[in-house]
Structure 1
């Protein structure tokens, strides 16, 4: 990971994280970087929950990536916890640099360290490039996902 540091996010990282969340076609429709109030509230909840691991990637002191790893205890698979990777984002000028692979490898290693025998993630059906990326990293498209907006 050369000069890359992956560390827990702090409240000071919210502006950079939200900017990355909003920096694509889907995010531009659902994120509001001009009003950080709901993000600060969400960050406080994430920071208070030991099952949540929101991280940022820094290169040369600059935030260049983020993801959230959630550990979900469960009864299935003989009471196994699973890790869920969410909100993977890489800064536009870092895409193609291998940073996304570094972030996912970190998440898989962390999930293993936390005792999870399974790592899962979802990706919007329109993100075909992301699907190929996850498959190159060993993930399989084994399930169909469903959502219900409330």
Structure 2
């Protein structure tokens, strides 16, 4: 799957397209700043949680774990199992199935941020879905690197 991030400079529009493509109700896009992830845009996340996800250290939460591990991080049912990555406040999103992937620079070395999606129903993301979201994150990384 390829979304055209080159034609629109609007990360909110990017995230809308990603959510539609994955049939998800929530999503976040974070940009790396040192060892932290700064929120660029969020969709479907309750307003009272935005301060908690506006700046996330690498290694904390699902997005932080994806950035630190440099690989997709998934939870099938966040409402029942926080795994070893999600924080208890994450349940307040009302999301069950969630997936976050790192956004890499074109060199494939530097983590530029993370892209995360979530749905209200429990969901095991397939290897294909993880690969598709990672491919989209690669497109985001290319745009960010060009700017």
Normalized against structure 2, the TM-score is what?
0.27
- Higher radius of gyration, 1 or 2: 1
TM-score between both structures, scaled by the size of structure 1: 0.27
With CA pairs under 8 Å and 6+ residues apart, which has the higher RCO, 1 or 2? 2
